[in-house]
Chain A
Amino acid sequence: MTPNDIPRSGTTPSRLYARDLRLGYGSHSVVHDLDVVIPDGRITGIVGANACGKSTLLRGLARLLKPTAGTVILDGTDIHRRPTGEVARTLGLLPQQPVVPSGVTVTDLVGRGRYPHQSGFRRWSSEDDAIVAEALDLTGTIDLADRLVDELSGGQRQRVWIAMALAQHTDLLLLDEPTTYLDLAHQIDVLDLLAELNNSRGTTIVMVLHELNLAARYADHLIAMQHGRIRAEGTPDEVITEDIIRDVFGLASRVVLDPVSATPMVLPLSTRRKEAHERLDSRR
């Protein structure tokens, strides 16, 4: 099913959105009364400084965190009132640092992505086999199928986790910093894979990203958070501006056009090298 097939009425802006969402741990509130709409069939990037509530918002959207106020709506219903198995067939989540169980093979791990589609009566089927094989193929991990996950490199492992999320066959996929701890080549690799998934299957993707320039390249829609609120959202051109970067990160920067992708690119100004910047300024 592509997102375009979903019937929409004027009151439901998209399949996944939140109203007056307040999230926190104990009495400590992290995300404050926030409204957010995740555009269907697009790639949304959530950016912001450390501890601004990005991951908390993602966990809230993935119903891992129960809101202290407000609601998250998935397909027209409060996500916490829907059967958890049904939600798991619609929305997938890849946490930031998943626990890698030792001694588990790649095929076994990716196969666990099929759990939401199985029940006491419906056990492993040939369809499950086909979907796991497809997920391994799409992520280029088919050669690793019989290897143990804990023996893989960081980049390979991340592909295997994504393969597991693919095997879950959800229309929406939420990822918490899928590129953290990967070198640049592997970051591009993972993001290309997600972009391809979005393109070929129409999967709605929401990801928390640290790397602003990559976020600007790969996301259709950016959400910049600050102190648990949304400071700006829109296209990368609208969100990646010198003003917003200064507010969100407390960082002076210059925003130029990325010569490769024609998206905005942030060049941070260092306070220590102020004279160098002034020198450059005077040369312009």
Chain B
Amino acid sequence: MTARASRLAIALLMLAVVASVCSLLIGSRWLAPASLWAALTDGSDPLTGIAHARLDRTLLAAAVGAALALAGALLQGVTRNPLADPGILGINAGASFAMVVAMAGFGISDLGAYVAVAFLGAGLALILVHAVAAAGQDGATPTTLAICGAAVTAVLASATSAVLLLDRQTMESFRFWQVGTVSGRDLSVLTIGAPFLAVGVVLGLLCIRLLDAAALGDDLARALGRRLGRDRAVVAIAVVLLAGTATALAGPIAFVGLLVPHAVRALAGPGHRTVLPLCLLGGAVLTLLADTVGRVLLPPAEIQVGVMVALIGGPAFVMLVRRGRTVAL
């Protein structure tokens, strides 16, 4: 790891700690560190409910952010497409559509079922995008993947809207999920998602050499003994696990998967040995900060994390691009 990457890792670790503490303390009601500790350890404390809700929310935000950023880095690496993002390749749209159909058509409201349905949708959307892209003459190139992803996203988003317009009740329950939120979901949500996220993270971190080889282009990657089909399948499974679970848990949160990998590459260089772990940290930091800021901006209302990430991430991304700091893939 280079000196720059080590410095960035230390900075991100410290930021992650600060962001977590802020997320625990700050909210519609300020909790001093001492009373937070008391509330978390003593079950009879009047603040216990709030404290636990804060803790759950903090853990969920960190996990979802880390997963989305890693998924983005994996997708950008394997497609050599700087715009690749679970949102752009249709994965989030697939998960959303599947959940809407499940809510409206089958009246599913159980969270475990949500996760399963979101996976199914995410996986099917990715397969569909890949199949359409691969049908062209040159196969699934980064460009055809991005175009097909955008097309599939548009179709699925319209279909989702159509279902929602026809079904008022589903629309009500879907509305908050759709903008992306980490509040009001208790720890059971995370315990259902955690094993999937863990497998996704491990699988993702095993992709370091595969992605570094993919960065050299298809011909050289194959000349170096990579089996491209298998490599892409491994990455796709990791991405569906990560982005599918994150979407099921918190709704489609855009921009984390796009912004964080770009920022990390600009600051630490493109080697995936550093990029992938740093994206986990960076994603957690961004989502935690966005969620915390969203709680205090318009009291007593809260702005959902999905909205806040886009509000913070959009300008930050524009700045990154304008300063020419993005690293091409």
Contact = CB atoms under 8 A, between A and B. Distances in A.
Interface of A: 26, 59, 62-64, 84-89, 92-95, 98-99, 101-104, 108, 112-113, 115-116, 118, 120, 168
Given A93-B223, A94-B223, A101-B216, 12 more contacts: A64-B223, A84-B227, A88-B224, A95-B219, A101-B215, A101-B270, A102-B270, A103-B269, A112-B212, A115-B209, A116-B224, A120-B206
B217 interface: yes
Contacts of B80: 99
A85 B328 CA distance: 28
Nearest to A63: B222
B270 A89 contact: no
Contact of B217 (A26, A87, A99): A99
A93 B225 contact: no
Interface in B125-143: 137
Given A102-B328, A103-B265, A103-B327, A118 B224 contact: no
Task: Identify the interface centre among B220, B223, B271: most chain A CB within 10 Å of its CB.
Answer: B223
A280 to B, nearest CB: 45
Contacts of A64: 219, 222-223
B329 interface: yes
B213 A101 contact: no
A151 B207 CA distance: 27
Given A95-B217, A98-B216, A101-B216, A88 B223 contact: yes
Contacts of B271: 104, 108
Sorted from nearest, which 10 A-B pairs have the closest CB atoms?
A: A88-B225, A99-B217, A116-B225, A93-B223, A85-B225, A95-B219, A101-B215, A103-B270, A102-B328, A115-B224
B209 A118 contact: yes
Interface in B294-317: none
Interface string B316-329: 00000000000111
Contacts of A99: 80, 215-217, 220
A62 B218 CA distance: 13
Contact of A98 (B209, B220, B227): B220
A103 B328 CA distance: 8
Interface residues of B, number: 24
Contacts of B209: 115, 118
Contacts of B185: none
B226 A84 contact: yes
Contacts of A103: 265, 269-270, 327
A92 B223 contact: yes
Contacts of A168: 224
Contact of B213 (A59, A89, A95, A112): A112
B305 to A, nearest CB: 31
A118 B209 CA distance: 10
Interface of B: 80, 137, 206, 209, 212-213, 215-217, 219-220, 222-227, 265, 269-271, 327-329
B217 A98 contact: yes
Contacts of A59: 219
A256 B151 CA distance: 61
A102 B275 CA distance: 14
A45 to B, nearest CB: 20
A85 B80 CA distance: 22
A103 B213 CA distance: 14
26 contacts: A63-B222, A64-B223, A84-B222, A84-B226, A89-B225, A93-B219, A93-B223, A95-B217, A98-B219, A99-B80, A99-B215, A99-B216, A99-B217, A101-B215, A101-B216, A101-B329, A102-B270, A102-B328, A102-B329, A104-B269, A112-B213, A112-B216, A115-B209, A115-B213, A120-B206, A168-B224
A55 to B, nearest CB: 11
Contacts of A84: 222, 225-227
A98 to B, nearest CB: 5
A16 B269 CA distance: 39
Contacts of A86: 225
Contact of B225 (A87, A108, A120): A87
Nearest to B220: A98
Contacts of A118: 209
A183 to B, nearest CB: 24
B81 to A, nearest CB: 13
Nearest to B271: A108
A109 to B, nearest CB: 8
B202 to A, nearest CB: 13
A62 B80 CA distance: 23
Most chain B C-beta atoms within 10 Å of own C-beta, residue among A104, A113, A168: A104
Nearest to A87: B225
A56 to B, nearest CB: 13
A85 B271 CA distance: 22
A54 B12 CA distance: 51
A113 B225 CA distance: 10
B223 A62 contact: yes
A227 to B, nearest CB: 23
Nearest to A62: B223
A80 to B, nearest CB: 12
B134 to A, nearest CB: 14
Given A99-B80, A102-B327, A103-B327, A115 B225 contact: yes
A89 B224 CA distance: 8
Interface hub of B212, B220, B227 (most chain A Cβ within 10 A): B220
